């Protein structure tokens, strides 16, 4: 039985997988994201930044797995950042930073980039690696001042990439998107399916082996 391991603490990513029939083992990576980004060349393309973060998370998680899991599993690492006006935006980290980000991006357009890294592990050895970055265009609305006050006070935007969600309170302020909505939530199912197929596996077999308990 090939176990699916999600290397992320994101409730959104977990929900996407569970709704698609897979209840993964969740293992959070020990990657210092800020330090990794700081170590990259300033000219690194944004797509490569999220790809490197996702791969680092997957590798970190793979090193933490007990023998019974690493005997036969796939590890999925993901990282999402908003790319807008030539800059990458991660989690604001504070209400004030979230408010400022919304004041600058209201009424604008950005690219939500999600790096995906998939590792195939068999008998404790990484036998295959794959990775791809998904991009979804997001058109932001303009919340009123009371709406923005309420949204910031909710605490949601301070802790998510780009200071918004599509499937939460932030969804009220998204005019439209172009591309895969699940990629905005943090995990593109079509993209992961392609990576799984490249490793000679089937998503049907994975959901049969990792079905949520009744």
In this prediction, residue 1 carries a pLDDT of 86
- Whether 3 has a pLDDT exceeding 70, the answer reads yes
User: What's the CA angle centered on 189, arms 123 and 116, to 5 degrees?
Assistant: 60
Q: Which residues contact 37 (CB under 8 A, 6 or more apart)?
A: 49, 53, 88
Coil, strand, or helix at residue 65? coil
Q: Which of 111, 176, 102, 110 is nearest to 144 (CA)?
A: 102
Q: Work out the pLDDT band at 186, boundaries 50, 70, 90.
A: very high
> What is the spatial distance between Cα 50 and Cα 70, in angstroms, rounded to a whole number?
25
- Whether 213 has a pLDDT exceeding 80, the answer reads no
In this prediction, residue 111 carries a pLDDT of 98
- The DSSP code for 158 is G
In this prediction, residue 214 carries a pLDDT of 64
What is the tens place of the pLDDT at every residue in 27-46?
999 898 889 988 999 899 99
Q: Which of 149, 144, 151 is nearest to 165 (CA)?
A: 151
- Average pLDDT of the chain to the nearest whole number: 95
Q: Which of 9, 4, 2 is nearest to 29 (CA)?
A: 9
Orientation angle between helical segments 145-154 and 95-105, nearest 10 degrees: 140
Q: Which residues are catalytic?
A: 79
Domain ranges of the chain: 3-209
Fold entry, domain 3-209: Maf protein (3.90.950)
How many Å separate Cα 50 from the centre of its chain?
9
Average pLDDT of span 175-186: 97
| 76, β-bridge pairs | 6, 118
Name the token pair of 183: 């990629």
In this prediction, residue 138 carries a pLDDT of 98
In this prediction, residue 151 carries a pLDDT of 98
> What is the spatial distance between Cα 149 and Cα 122, in angstroms, rounded to a whole number?
50
Coil, strand, or helix at residue 209? helix
Neighbours of 68 (CB within 10 A): 9
- Whether 211 has a pLDDT exceeding 90, the answer reads no
What is the tens place of the pLDDT at every residue in 73-103?
999 999 999 999 999 999 999 999 999 999 9
- Whether 126 has a pLDDT exceeding 70, the answer reads yes
Q: Work out the pLDDT band at 206, boundaries 50, 70, 90.
A: very high
> What is the spatial distance between Cα 122 and Cα 126, in angstroms, rounded to a whole number?
7
- Whether 212 has a pLDDT exceeding 80, the answer reads no
């Amino acid at each position: 039985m090939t176990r699916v391991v999600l290397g992320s603490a994101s409730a959104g990513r977990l929900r996407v997988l569970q709704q698609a029939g897979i209840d993964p083992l969740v293992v959070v990576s020990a990657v210092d994201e800020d330090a990794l980004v700081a170590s990259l060349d300033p000219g690194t393309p944004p797509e490569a930044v999220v790809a490197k973060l996702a791969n680092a998370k997957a590798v970190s998680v793979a090193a933490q797995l007990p023998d019974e899991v690493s005997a036969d599993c796939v590890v999925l690492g993901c990282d999402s950042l908003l790319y807008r006006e030539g800059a990458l935006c991660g989690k604001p980290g504070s209400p004030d930073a979230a408010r400022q980000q919304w004041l600058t991006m209201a009424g604008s357009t950005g690219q939500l980039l999600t790096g995906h890294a998939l590792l195939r592990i068999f008998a404790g050895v990484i036998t295959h690696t794959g990775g791809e970055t998904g991009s979804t265009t997001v058109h932001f609305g303009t919340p009123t001042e009371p709406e923005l006050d309420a949204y910031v006070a909710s605490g949601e935007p301070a802790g998510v990439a780009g200071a918004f969600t599509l499937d939460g309170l932030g969804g009220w302020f998204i005019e439209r998107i172009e591309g895969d909505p699940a990629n905005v939530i943090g995990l593109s199912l079509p993209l992961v399916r392609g990576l799984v197929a490249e490793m000679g596996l089937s998503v049907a077999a994975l959901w049969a082996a990792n079905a949520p308990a009744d």
